[in-house]
Amino acid sequence: MKVVVVMVASLNGKTTDGGLKNIHSWTSKEDADSFAAFLAKQKLIVMGSRTYEAAKKQMRILPGQLRIVLTKSPTKYHKQAISGVLEFHSLSARALVSKYSRLGYKTMALVGGAKTNRSFFASGLVDELRLTLEPYIFGSGEPIVLEGKFREKFSLISKKQINSSGTLELVYRKIAK
């Protein structure tokens, strides 16, 4: 299964502006449109519980699409779960990829956050990074990935400026070891 991390960040790699949880307060309309178009094509979308909590009011549930929220406490969300549509799991990154590969999924879109991203990078499971860079610098905020014991090398495969402010869409592919 191909694992694709999809993130928006400031120029210094922050995915939030300090204490602000809502990324829509600083990201561009062009990024939002591009992200929505990418997600609309995905069959399997994975996020952490903090990302889910921050985004659940804006989430659009689409037919034929499974959204998985990784959490230490899946039972906490049992009333929100919709089997085959919105599921909550405490599986490891490796177990999640293995399970959904066996179920026939070809691509997993990993949409955040930093802790969830770390588990996939640390397991060597990330194949592609789709990163939108917004022309901001934040003094504090969440990083793209939390620190951990891993090192992966990626190669730029495409770049595109998507607005006059200088917002960039970058796509990187992991270089095989």
43, amino acid identity = K
For residue 176, what is the DSSP state?
P
Whole-model pTM: value is: 0.94
User: CA-to-CA distance for 44 and 143, rounded, in angstroms?
Assistant: 23
Reported confidence tier of residue 21, pLDDT bands at 50, 70, 90: low
pLDDT digits (tens, 9 = 90+) for 103-119: 999 999 999 889 999 99
